[in-house]
Amino acid sequence: MKKAIMTLAVFVMAFGNVGLAQNMAKLPEMDKQVMRYYGVRHNGDLRPAQAVVTQLNGDKSRYTYTYDEYDYYLIEEFVENYNGTDWQPAEMVTYEYDFDGNVLEQFGQVWNGSGWENATFTSYTYEDYMVKEVIYQTWDGSNWVNDTKKVYDYQDSVSTILFWKWNGSTWSSDELYTYTYDGNTIELVVQYMQGGAWQNKTRYIYTLDFSENITEITIEAWVNYSMWDYMENLVYDYQDGVYVSMSVYFGYGDPQYRMEYAYEDGNAVLGEATHRLANGQYAPYEGEIEMAYGFNYDVIRFYGSVVEMTYLDVTKVDENAQTVSFNVYPTPAETEIQIQAEGFQKAEIFTLTGQMLLESVQNTINVSGLASGIYLLKVYDQTGNSATQKLVVK
């Protein structure tokens, strides 16, 4: 997938939003924050609803998120690519949870032009309510095959994540991430296994301010098997406590890369990545764009040149104690849908941000006027009970 949020390592490489910074004091809290988007119980009112990501060459992808209607856990991430005329399915990830709201399984599929094919499967185990082990598998055409594994060890001042690689028959240690906490500084050392011993590879030094916002990340490489040498600096800028930009320096002078954001009510609605040209001007660049949102300053990250994000306020989604059992077909829909529900009274179709588009007292609804995408279909019975499910229109 193009989106760069599939592993903890990716998050660690380019931290910078307020929420992750606030949770960096301890690895458990940091990891809980990373896992939250993938299912750990979420206390805020906002969820990402849809994101449109534009690449440097003009290609566009659209990410649409569907949530459980009771607890609002993320249950599906649906990715489409724009072919110049309409949106076509590309990828889909679904999630399963335990009773405490922790994600147990993450199942990825890709669209082959006529149907969905298995792609990835990730399983999670927990200890004392903290993630302990994550196993990643890929589909070989007939079976799930082990790929990599992460094992977590949480300590007060030093914590580790051990990465394992599947060699076809057994697991072998591959990389070791060691976090050391010291006041307003956090050090991450990445090592790799060679000759039966751990060898240094990269070091990240995070500097936090008094509000525990990350203000700078210094990245160093281990050279000549003897010393750390400077690679680059990531510098973060805040205005009134809100993260507004990140600049990447490879040396002295102006930044070589920048990620800048526009906010509405504290939520990132537009992110743009640029790089510095020889004439000193900045032009679009495909970078890792962090979109921070909500009072918890959660973050979702994409790889592209421009990201436009909308959100779902779950406090505005009406819920009833009693629900209606109904079926809708065909799905995806093209011209019209049929709703089967005992005691059907009416149906409503909403955008993922809660805007009602259609209302019908007939159980056959013409949807040809809707743009391709994902909507919410709400069905009422004659006693006023209702239920909502996803509606895909192509």
Please answer whether residues 286 and 275 qualify as being in contact, where contact means their C-beta atoms are separated by less than 8 angstroms: no
Q: Is the peptide bond before 330 cis (omega within 30 degrees of 0)?
A: yes
Distance CA 229, CA 222 (A): 6
CA distances from 346 to 145, 178, 200, 341, 352 (A): 47, 57, 64, 10, 19
User: Quick one: pLDDT band at residue 43, thresholds 50, 70, 90?
Assistant: low
Over the stretch 110-147, which tens digit does the pLDDT of each residue have? Answer: 999 889 999 999 999 988 767 889 999 999 999 999 99
Q: Which helix (H) or strand (E) holds 18?
A: helix 18-22
- What mean pLDDT comes out for the span 227-237? 93
Predicted local confidence at residue 30, as pLDDT: 41
Find tokens 């010291």 and name the residue. 182
Q: Which helix (H) or strand (E) holds 312?
A: strand 306-313
pLDDT score of 11 more than 60: no
pLDDT score of 67 more than 80: yes
pLDDT score of 266 more than 80: no
For residue 310, which of 33, 19, 64, 87 has the smallest C-alpha distance? Answer: 64
Predicted local confidence at residue 176, as pLDDT: 96
Query: Cα 204 from chain centroid?
Result: 22
- Beta carbons within 8 Å of 298's beta carbon, 6+ residues apart: 19, 33, 36, 37, 42, 44, 292
Q: Which helix (H) or strand (E) holds 31?
A: helix 27-36
Q: Which of 162-171, 244-253, 310-319 has the highest mean pLDDT?
A: 162-171
3-state SS assignment for residue 392: strand
Distance CA 136, CA 139 (A): 11
Residue 4 in tokens: 């760069």
94-130 burial, b at 16+ Cβ within 10 Å, e below that, comes to: ebebeeeebbeebbbbbbeeeeeebebbbbbebeeee
The DSSP output letter for 5 is -
User: Quick one: pLDDT band at residue 17, thresholds 50, 70, 90?
Assistant: very low
Over the stretch 374-393, which tens digit does the pLDDT of each residue have? Answer: 788 888 888 777 777 778 88
pLDDT score of 271 more than 90: yes
Please answer whether residues 204 and 219 qualify as being in contact, where contact means their C-beta atoms are separated by less than 8 angstroms: yes
User: Quick one: pLDDT band at residue 98, thresholds 50, 70, 90?
Assistant: confident
Distance CA 300, CA 316 (A): 22
Residue 114 in tokens: 């006529």
Q: C-alpha angle with apex 106: 93 to 56, nearest 5 degrees?
A: 40
Distance CA 303, CA 288 (A): 4
- What mean pLDDT comes out for the span 50-55? 95
Distance CA 51, CA 64 (A): 7
- Higher-scoring residue by pLDDT: 220, 44: 220
Predicted local confidence at residue 4, as pLDDT: 34
For residue 50, which of 270, 312, 295, 273 has the smallest C-alpha distance? Answer: 312
- Beta carbons within 8 Å of 107's beta carbon, 6+ residues apart: 93, 94, 95, 96, 120, 121, 122
Mean of the per-residue pLDDT values of the chain: 81
Q: Which of 223-237, 305-319, 344-358 has the highest mean pLDDT?
A: 223-237
Distance CA 304, CA 316 (A): 31
pLDDT score of 105 more than 80: yes
Query: Cα 218 from chain centroid?
Result: 24
User: Quick one: pLDDT band at residue 200, thresholds 50, 70, 90?
Assistant: very high
Q: Is the pTM of this model over 0.75?
A: no
Distance CA 82, CA 213 (A): 37
Predicted local confidence at residue 33, as pLDDT: 36
Pick the range with the lowest mean pLDDT from 131-140, 319-328, 333-342. Answer: 319-328
